[in-house]
Amino acid sequence: TDFAKWDKFDVEKEVEQIDAREDQEAWERQERVAWLGDRRNEAEALALAEDAASRERSRARVAALRARGRGRGSRRAASGGVEATAQEGTLPGATPSDFFEGLRVNLQAVYALRDTAEECMVAQGFGDARSKFQEALRLVADTEQLLDGETQAVGMDEEQMSKYKQAVHSARLAILFGAGKCQMQDELYPEASESLKAFLLLHEDTFEAWFLRGAAFYHMRAPVIADLHWRRIEESPKAPNALRQAVAELRGKTTHKEDPPATSQDVVWLARRATSLAKEALVIFREQFYKTAQNKFVAAVAHLDRARTMANAHTLPLLSEGHLEHLRQSACVNIAACCLLRQCEYMVAVEYCSRVCDTPVPPNKELHLKALLRRAEARKRLGDFRGGRNDLQAAALQCPPGSSELTQVQNRLEHLEFTSRQFLETEGGGEEGLADEDADLRGPSSGGGGSDGNSSSPRQDDAAGGGRG
């Protein structure tokens, strides 16, 4: 016996490793049981749909045979009854047997696409897996639409309907989670964040999804949002130790992969990087971390400006100049939205809105209108009431007569006039003072302002689509 080795043996460390291994095995067993349960529910739903379709076909054949054995008048009446039965399906002329057969076909197709996508992920074919997951999600949406409101139409009881909906629900969860993991592998972090968000809204008890979405924000250089997700793992005693260790490893990495310096040959790279930054900023904007989103929008605009400067007459048409210009204007408008929601840096908002309003290229009408409205709001808060009035008057000229947009602009113009008169009465000065800091942010840039990550929820039209494309 080598007593020297026993002297160096760390009992506590070995016990910790054994405990961690046992926890991991227990977690894997739990996941396996859940997976088998989902597969069993799916098989039962398929069998139910197939049996129901067969039963309805048999009923239709019996009804036809009974109608054939009657007289001519009875056959006419029976045919009318058959037509009435045929109209009880999901579509005009569809019978209950057609409904159940269509349901079975849809479920089989969803499960086949999901399984194929998971096999592609094992084989590192993430591009094929993404397309399969997207197709499966479309089929899931069609199946859910097929099930909604059809309980009475096909004579289905609530228990059967709940089994079908549970099978479709479990398939949607598996597809969303698989799509998020696939997008993480391909470094499509904004898309992965959205897929995992949809998954967590339906099933918030999956710790791996919290870890992956936090990792997505970590790679998008939004560590505060990542910490909020990882805190869910750290504060729960049920979270597996493997995920805790993975969180600790990512937190220990203080450096990110830096962007390589751009040269005259990197125009395409700059355009792609700007698109990626705009997508990341839009995702972070929806999480209401406006300062982080603003920094990313500013970086996207800077990348696009560098690309335009470096591109020559031969390479610029290859970069889809119209798309890049739309992306740049969207980012500028969103920078202004971030400033207004944070209630600071109004001069920055005016500067970036002016890039859209004063551009020599014919601008997008929707973006141009948003830029005018947000520049008017920023100028009002700065006390430049004359400039704000001019912007609102220009915006009114772009709105169709009698439209809701025109009414909204006119209301904002009246509010600006009221604020201007009130300021002149209280201050007794010109139009160079500060505007009312508590004025509501209305119109396309509505939503209460606030500090980064601690403000009210913005409306859906606050972001001008800077991450599209």
> What distance in Å separates the CA atoms of residue 117 and residue 114, rounded to the nearest whole number?
5
What are residue 314's phi and psi, to 5 degrees?
Answer: -90, -35
Beta carbons of 27 and 244 less than 8 angstroms apart: no
3-state DSSP: the chain helix, strand, coil percent, rounded to 5?
75, 0, 25
Nearest by Cα to 125 from 187, 185, 190, 199: 185
454 φ, ψ to 5°? Answer: -145, 60
Task: Map out the domains of the chain as residue ranges.
Answer: 17-63+96-147+160-202, 204-256, 267-462
Report the alpha-carbon distance of residue 242 to residue 138 in Å, rounded: 34
**Which tokens go with 394?**
């220009």
What mean pLDDT value characterizes the chain? 76
pLDDT-based confidence at residue 142 (cuts at 50, 70, 90) = confident
Fold agreement (17-63+96-147+160-202, 267-462) = yes
Residues 442 and 462 sit within 8 Å (Cβ to Cβ): no
**pLDDT single digits (tens) 4-27:** 666 666 667 777 777 777 776 776
- Supply the CATH classification number for the domain 17-63+96-147+160-202: 1.25.40
pLDDT of 224-239, one tens digit each? Answer: 899 999 999 988 888 8
Confidence grade of residue 253 (pLDDT, cut at 50, 70, 90): confident
pTM recorded for the entire structure: 0.69
Question: How high is the pLDDT of residue 93?
Answer: 39
Express each pLDDT in 325-349 by its tens digit.
889 999 999 999 999 999 999 999 9
- The answer to whether 375 touches 446, Cβ cutoff 8 Å, is no
Beta bridge partners of 279: none
Residue with tokens 């408008």: 333
**How confident is the model at residue 459, as a pLDDT?**
40
Nearest to 160 by CA among 41, 60, 56: 41
Q: Dig out the tokens for 333 from the structure.
A: 């408008």
Give me 22's structure tokens. Answer: 């046992």
- In contact, 78 and 67? CB cutoff 8 Å: yes
**Per-residue pLDDT tens digits for 394-418:** 989 888 888 888 888 888 888 888 8
Say which residues have a Cβ less than 8 Å from residue 411's Cβ, sequence separation at least 6. 442
CATH of domain 267-462: 1.25.40.10
Local confidence band at 444 (pLDDT 50, 70, 90 cut-offs): very low
Nearest-5° angle of CA 329, CA 214, CA 334? 15
Indicate the range of 183-192, 388-397, 414-423 predicted with least confidence: 414-423
| pLDDT for residue 312 | 59
**34 or 423, greater pLDDT:** 423
Please give the average per-residue pLDDT across 371-395, as a whole number.
91
pLDDT digits (tens, 9 = 90+) for 315-325: 555 556 678 88
Q: Which of 444, 448, 462, 379 is nearest to 416 (CA)?
A: 379
